[in-house]
Amino acid sequence: MLDMLSSSYVWVKSFHVMAVIAWMAGLFYLPRLFVYHVEGLKKAGVERGSDMDLLFRHQERLLLNAIMTPAMYATWIFGLMLVFTPGIIGWTVIWPWAKAAAVIAMTGYHYWLGAQRVALAEGRNRLTGRQYRMANEVPTLLMIVIVLAVIVRF
């Protein structure tokens, strides 16, 4: 098994990077959809259940369930394959721990977005467009930690 991981390292790493890109795109876009959803309905003066509300709910559900969640799972699977590839990670330094913590935080953020999507769909949203804009900075900060950890290897 370990020999297979070593011989397929560049392929696994490639698929990991592709999955991360897809996941990050969704993590950046879903909160922006929430902003448009919350502010668009208010600005248009339309109610929950309107065509506009249903369109936003449909887009949010598809983005989360058809793109983001499969990409997150693929990121984790290929990432764990990289972790278990012999000679790739030395756990005596800080960077893999920093990356792991940031990835776990990113996963928690993903599930928080899922809960917000459900709250919006059920009419229980309590956040404003501004709050969703602020929340949209979370994946950027986590991405900075992850990229610096992997590239700089501090």
Domain coordinates of the chain in residue numbers? 2-152
Mean pLDDT is lowest, of 10-14, 68-72, 142-146, 150-154, for 150-154
Q: What is the pLDDT of residue 4?
A: 85
Distance from the Cα of residue 34 to its chain's centroid: 15
Per-residue pLDDT tens over the stretch 59-118: 999 999 999 999 999 999 999 999 999 988 989 999 999 999 999 999 999 999 999 999
Name the pTM for this structure.
0.93
Q: What is the pLDDT of residue 26?
A: 98
pLDDT above 90: percentage of residues in the chain? 83
3-state SS assignment for residue 137 = coil
